[in-house]
Amino acid sequence: MGELDAFWMPFTAGRQFRARPRMLTGAKDMHYVTDDGREVLDGTAGLWCTNLGHGREEITRAVADQMAQMDYAPSYQMGHPLAFELAERLVELAPAPFKHVFFTNSGSESVDTALKIALAYQNLRGKGERLRIIGRHKGYHGTGFGGMAVGGMGNNRQRFGPGLPVDHLSHTLLPDNAFSRGLPANGAAMADELLDIIGLHGADTIAAVIIEPISGSAGIIVPPTGYLERIRGICTDHDIVLIFDEVITAFGRLGAAFAAEEFGVVPDIMTTAKGLTNGTIPMGAVLTTSAIHEVFMHAPPEDIEFFHGYTYSGHPVACRAALASLDLYARDEVFTHARKVRQVFEDCAHELATSRANVTDVRNYGLMAGIEIAPRDGPSRTYEIFEKCFFEEDLMIRFTGNVLAISPPLIISEAQIRDLFDKVGRTIDRVN
Ligand code: PLP
């Protein structure tokens, strides 16, 4: 291979990567294969997306068959049955109020689509001055201009201008909640900050609130008990659309199909992607309630109800990949398995902290865990742990700032969970 500098890598220190490349060339079940022939345990489900593990033959076959039968069909002014079938399957899987699905190609597009639905919904109801979107500090909603503006991770917003009119709730990472197992006890009242923001700008300027039920990319921030319920209540009281960004929490990560189901809190719009096709083919889906959708249906029937779409919305090959993935989730009872092993996962994550000086917090829910590591001067400790895990322990994890993020495929066995956390623990011990 050449100098490796033509590919401008996303969210990667490219020069650091090129100094010691980490190359993946194969994948099966719980493992990647590297260019030097090592089997590496996948501790991150790729990028939170291969919930069923890798190389699932049923998906491969479905995709190959579809490519042969009909490689592409437009969804503008034309239809094909698979997109309608997939939309119905998602409606069946989702909490009751969700009845309509708009297809995208990624989490970022799902977020931008959701924001546009919320803005157009307000506009169609004669509330066109409701233009502001409220996000949360440390929130991640992808990299489109809408998702970026409303996201709350500093580096992602720094050099790209102001974007949409937004404001941000505080994140709920409280020192009192360190080492909480599952939902932390303290902080539900922080949801009332939304009342302050409403007081500041006026409810009649706010279209929507968007939050990840559990923040993933900023380091696994689990909502305090009662927090999401309070946000829901305030949004309802002030006629504000509530969007749950479920790009990583949907499709079983928490042990249920959606975080909305797991937490019993129903938003008005949900964004998904990633696990929808098990990461095999790019696809996202935005689910809305009938109450939202109905507002778009008052114009004459020959009018386009929502001026929005992508060339690949409802791509037939992606639809087949998604249908095969949904079949496997159901047939293998994958969400039930995640529920079954999540206690072992939690125990292993928290045992890791015992008598380890540099572990300053452990946070978890379902099959996601964040292990916060004390920062140090000079090169990042978490990067070193990540690199050593890969080269010395044959384990792929992620790091974001000072947090190690663990989110394996949901098919992981209890023995593999123990092995995964043993590897992480040993590596933390080797990095001073
Ligand atoms: N929203 C959330 C909550 C995410 O975690 C991500 C990606 O990690 C996105 C949106 C963006 O998804 P994509 O990278 O597919 O655009």
* Residue 281, CA distances (Å) to 24, 48, 60, 153, 200 in order: 18, 14, 10, 27, 43
Cα of 69 vs centre of ligand 1, distance in Å, is 31
Residue 1 scores a pLDDT above 70: no
Q: How far apart are CA 204 and CA 198, in angstroms?
A: 9
Residues near 1 by beta carbon (within 8 Å), at least 6 away in sequence:
none
| pLDDT computed for residue 242 by the predictor | 98
User: Contact 195/160 with Cβ under 8 angstroms?
Assistant: no
Residue 383 scores a pLDDT above 70: yes
Q: How far apart are CA 206 and CA 203, in angstroms?
A: 5
| pLDDT computed for residue 3 by the predictor | 86
Task: Check if 244 has its Cβ closer than 6 Å to any atom of ligand 1.
Answer: no
User: Contact 353/372 with Cβ under 8 angstroms?
Assistant: no
Residue 196 scores a pLDDT above 70: yes
Helices and strands, number each (H, E), in the chain: 15, 15
**Ligand 1 atom 1 nearest Cα:** 141
Task: Check if 107 has its Cβ closer than 6 Å to any atom of ligand 1.
Answer: yes
Q: Is the dihedral of CA 87, 89, 94, 99 positive or negative?
A: positive
Cα of 273 vs centre of ligand 1, distance in Å, is 8
**Per-residue pLDDT tens digits for 319-371:** 999 999 999 999 999 999 999 999 999 999 999 988 788 999 999 999 999 99
Residue 379 scores a pLDDT above 90: no
Cα of 211 vs centre of ligand 1, distance in Å, is 12
> Is the full-model pTM beyond 0.75?
yes
- 404 — pLDDT class (breaks 50, 70, 90): very high
Task: Check if 216 has its Cβ closer than 6 Å to any atom of ligand 1.
Answer: yes
Task: Check if 43 has its Cβ closer than 6 Å to any atom of ligand 1.
Answer: no
Cα of 194 vs centre of ligand 1, distance in Å, is 24
Task: Check if 62 has its Cβ closer than 6 Å to any atom of ligand 1.
Answer: no
Task: Check if 142 has its Cβ closer than 6 Å to any atom of ligand 1.
Answer: yes
Give mean pLDDT, residues 77-91.
98
Task: Check if 389 has its Cβ closer than 6 Å to any atom of ligand 1.
Answer: no
Task: Check if 111 has its Cβ closer than 6 Å to any atom of ligand 1.
Answer: yes
Cα of 2 vs centre of ligand 1, distance in Å, is 31
Burial letters 252-267, b for 16+ CB under 10 A, else e: bbbbbbbbbbbbebbb
Kind and range of the H or E run holding 154: helix 154-157
Cα of 354 vs centre of ligand 1, distance in Å, is 32
Task: Check if 248 has its Cβ closer than 6 Å to any atom of ligand 1.
Answer: yes
Structural domains of the chain, ranges and CATH numbers in brackets: 14-56+333-430 (3.90.1150.10), 61-331 (3.40.640.10)
Report the DSSP pairing between strands 398-400 and 206-211: unpaired
Give mean pLDDT, residues 398-415.
98
Comparing CA positions, the residue from 215, 216, 267, 272 lying closest to residue 242 is 267
| pLDDT computed for residue 154 by the predictor | 84
> What average pLDDT is seen over the chain?
97
**Per-residue pLDDT tens digits for 221-258:** 999 999 999 999 999 999 999 999 999 999 999 999 99
Task: Check if 108 has its Cβ closer than 6 Å to any atom of ligand 1.
Answer: yes
SS3 content of the chain, % helix, strand, coil (to 5): 40, 20, 40
